[in-house]
């Protein structure tokens, strides 16, 4: 059956995308993975995140998917986004090579800054790669309405990327599990 | 079985309706459709929306269903509605014939404006049809309580019309999918 | 099997109860019922509500279940509750015999009023029964924390009492329903 | 099958943990248990909670799991947390031996206090044990972003620890249950 062909063959993709003149970005929830311990308990193996993908515009409504850059927002970074008021800003720093021999060679920073003349924001990504000697910068203006969609969708997704949906549903699905008879 | 007769025969209808003296409107979530690519990935084919349907009153508690007008709010337009404070207003413009030879012939605009004497709103729809040489206008007063229901229901529905519910649930339903064993 | 014994034999009861010195009340979501039309479409038959049940205290931690009074909050009345700020109040009037020969004989009013000396509220129910020549009054103080639970739980339940959860899930459960193949 | 080995062997664990220099705490939803009455109705047997577990740091990124202390937040205490503004504080007192001969011998208090120099909080737990003649104190600083995650996750979990998710889903899962045919 198609289920036997594995996870990737049935992957559902529904990113929330904001396409603007010079660049675009999209948000996609990335669920945690779990691992079963000898005790039988199932614990989080790799944490979930909200994956943000930036692309440069390379023509009229065309974006450079090949050279996209990624930034995975952790649960706590999503919490920062959720608390932002109209004048607030925030900035996150990631090192994709942390704990490897290349630590410090690539530095990524994602910042969200309020727009001076509206109640929207700028989503900015800077990627400095000392190995390739490159520096990339993406900046996408986000309207207040688009940011409201981001907040509502991220608020919905947060318990899922934390794995809390699995904890709250585990007793529901097992029939009499958790019920005394 | 009844399942074999297809989707429409089992459609569940539960619009949120606001009936007032001169006109009425209802909100219904419309889910996205998906298509399977050769790679096996499933992507959004037609975006979801919140469908708003307006009707004129044609008698005591009777409304003109035959001549209803529709306006499909996109995810970002729903985001606008969700961010509205008591004094805010918003307006959206749609062309149902965009990208066809009739582009520009029918113009629809939906506006939400604060009520001067209360903390409610007016939901207004204008439809100008140059092909039929008609202009229709609907206006329905909405109380703060009704608007709160609209916001709560649209906030609930937003991840579903974006397809995010399918992304967050796909690993839950496949047994060991996403689990290492 | 136990499933064959019908709905009521498996009913799950988990009211949110606030017990105070002179009276108590509880909240329970009551789901809509649906009916299938000849077209195959399934529509709401009886609307859902949040059922509020009041009881008088008749001893130490004992409440008079036999003489309880009920008040079913509609979706829009729940919307009123959800929008209440710390100084707001609201009041709803119901006639349980409306459209019958006893219309007007029993009048129920539920009011929520801010507490003068705290940021809590009073939940009050008045039932005037002209047939029995009785008037009952219940008043239960609610802390801000208890009211926050009520708001969060009612916000969760609102899409369910509206039937929107069934609309947003109908395409998810049917395998390829809503998918093009 | 693995299902036959019982609930604990398939327990999914996904606490939200905040690790700081001197101590750490984690939050985990604990679902209610239900019991079936002779009438067939299923009622809450043991209430759900959000379990907070504190540990002292005993080295670099090492925490003392053996001597952890627990504090189970009730639905109403979760309501307090959800209503907290940036300058608010709250405190809860529990006696784990209440209604036993050791009542009053162990006193636990959990307080959440705003941080003087930021818009974060301190999560503090004090455990006074007169039987062992011990007094323990844990204090963990929480950023505004971490607190936003706690609020969003607790808001998601609240209907589940109250058992309201089971009430709102019971009619959905039974096919024609709640439907007239």
Residue ranges per structural domain of chain A: 2-164
Percent of chain C with pLDDT over 90: 73
Q: How far is C121 from chain D (nearest CA, A)?
A: 14
Q: What average pLDDT does the segment B10-26 reach?
A: 93
Q: D touches which chains (3+ CB pairs under 8 A)?
A: A, C
- What's residue C5's pLDDT? 32
- Share above pLDDT 90 across residues of chain A, in percent, rounded to a whole number: 74
State residue D143's pLDDT score: 96
C170 and chain B in contact, CB less than 8 A:
yes
Neighboring chain A residues of D9 at a CB cutoff of 8 Å:
39-41
Chain A residues near residue B164 by CB distance under 8 angstroms = 14, 16, 29, 153, 156-157
Of C60, C46, C48, C69, the C-alpha closest to C126 is C69
Mean pLDDT to the nearest integer, B95-115: 93
**Predicted confidence band of residue C40 (pLDDT cuts 50, 70, 90):** confident
Instruction: Specify the pLDDT at position A99.
Output: 85
What residues in D contact A76, CB-CB < 8 Å? 143, 145-146, 149
CA nearest neighbour of B106 among B119, B96, B121: B96
Confidence category of residue B179, pLDDT binned at 50, 70, 90: very low
Predicted confidence at residue C171, as pLDDT, reads 52
Backbone angles phi, psi at D96, to 5 degrees: -65, -15
Of A117-131, B4-18, C117-131, C163-177, which gets the smallest average pLDDT?
Answer: C163-177
Q: What is the pLDDT of residues A116-151, one digit of tens each?
A: 888 899 999 999 999 999 999 999 999 999 999 999
For the residues B2-27, what does the mean pLDDT come to? 76
**Token duo for residue C18:** 């606030």
Q: Does A17 touch chain B (CB under 8 A)?
A: no
Assign 3-class secondary structure to chain A.
CHHHHCHHHHCEECCEEEECCCEEEEEEEECCEEEECCCCCEEEEECCEEEEEEEEEEECCEECCCCCEEEEECHHHHHHHHHCCCCCCEEEEECCCCCCCCCCCEEEEEEEEECCCCCCEEEEEEEEECCCCEEEEEEEEECHHHHHHHHHHHHHHHHHHHCHHHHHHCCCCCCCCCEEC
Instruction: For residues D2 and D4, give the distance between their C-alpha atoms in angstroms, rounded to a whole number.
Output: 5
- Listed as ranges, residues in chain D with pLDDT below 50 are 1-9, 172-181
Residue C28: pLDDT above 60?
A: yes
Span C142-168, mean pLDDT?
Answer: 95
* pLDDT of C179 above 60: no
Alpha-carbon span B27 to C154, nearest angstrom: 20
Among the CATH numbers 3.40.50.1220, 3.40.50.10860, 3.40.50.720, 2.30.31.10, which is that of A2-164? 2.30.31.10
- Whether residue A180 is predicted with pLDDT greater than 70 in this model: the reply is no
CATH number of B13-163: 2.30.31.10
- Max Cα–Cα distance, chain D, nearest Å: 67
Contact A61/B at CB under 8 A:
no
Q: What is the pLDDT of residue C10?
A: 62
Output the six-digit token pair for D80: 């307090």
Residue of C nearest to B152 (CA): C155
Q: What confidence tier does A10 reach under pLDDT thresholds 50, 70, 90?
A: low
Architecture of domain C20-165: Roll (2.30)
**What confidence tier does B171 reach under pLDDT thresholds 50, 70, 90?**
low
CATH of domain D15-164: 2.30.31.10
Q: pLDDT band at B10, cuts 50/70/90? A: low
Token pair, residue D174, equals 């039974």
D65 touching chain A per CB within 8 A: no
Q: What is each CA distance from A151 to A50, A89, B150, in whole angstroms?
A: 12, 14, 18
């Amino acid at each position: 059956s198609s289920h036997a062909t594995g996870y990737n063959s049935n992957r559902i993709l529904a990113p929330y995308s904001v396409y603007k003149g010079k660049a675009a970005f999209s948000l996609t929830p990335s669920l945690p993975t779990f691992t079963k311990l000898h005790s039988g308990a199932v614990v989080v193996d790799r944490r979930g995140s909200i994956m943000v993908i930036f692309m440069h515009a390379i023509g009229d409504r065309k974006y450079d998917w090949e050279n996209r850059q990624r930034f995975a927002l952790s649960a706590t970074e999503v919490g920062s986004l959720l608390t932002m008021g109209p004048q607030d800003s925030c900035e996150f720093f990631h090192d994709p090579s942390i704990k490897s021999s290349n630590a410090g060679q690539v530095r990524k920073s994602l910042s969200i800054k309020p727009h001076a003349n509206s109640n929207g924001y700028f989503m900015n990504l800077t990627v400095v790669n000392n190995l390739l000697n490159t520096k990339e910068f993406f900046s996408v203006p986000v309207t207040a309405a688009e940011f409201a969609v981001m907040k509502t969708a991220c608020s919905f997704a947060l318990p899922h990327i934390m794995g809390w949906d699995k904890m709250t549903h585990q007793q529901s699905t097992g029939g009499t599990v958790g019920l005394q008879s």
